[in-house]
Amino acid sequence: MQVKTGWVAMLAALALVSPAFAGETIHIRIDKLMFDPPKISAHVGDTIEWASSDFVVHTATARNKDWDVTIPAKGVGRVTLKRAGDVAYFCRFHPNMTGEIAVEP
C-alpha cells in the first residue's frame, strides 16, 4: 500500500516538473517573411502554432519530412511534435524563410 502511494506521488511530481506531460502550445509569429523567433526549443507532445500576419500563404516544412504545415494568409497552422531531435524547417514557397526547433524528449 505504501509502495503504491509512493509511485503515484512520484508520477504526479514528474507530471508537474516535466513539460513533456503538459503538451504546451508554443507560438511562433510570421511577419514580413520571417519566423519569429527563428529558433525555439520544445518537447515531444508540444504543439507548435504559427500565426501569420503576411498576406501570402506560407508553409512550415520540416527538412526531415516529419511534417509539412500550411499557414494561410493572415492565418494559423499547427503541428504536434511526435519525436525528439533537431528539426530545421523552411517555407516551400519562400525558401528564404527558415527556422529551427530543438525537440527534447
What residue ranges bind other proteins (CB under 8 A)? 32-33, 54-57, 73, 91-97
Q: Pick the closer one to other proteins by CB: 59 or 79.
A: 59
Q: 19 phi and psi, to 5 degrees? A: -65, -20
Q: From the CB of 70, what's the least distance to other proteins, in Å?
A: 12
Sequence-distant (≥ 6) Cβ neighbours of residue 70 within 8 angstroms: 57, 58, 59, 77
Q: From the CB of 23, what's the least distance to other proteins, in Å?
A: 32
Q: From the CB of 44, what's the least distance to other proteins, in Å?
A: 30
Euclidean distance between CA atoms 64 and 42, whole angstroms: 17
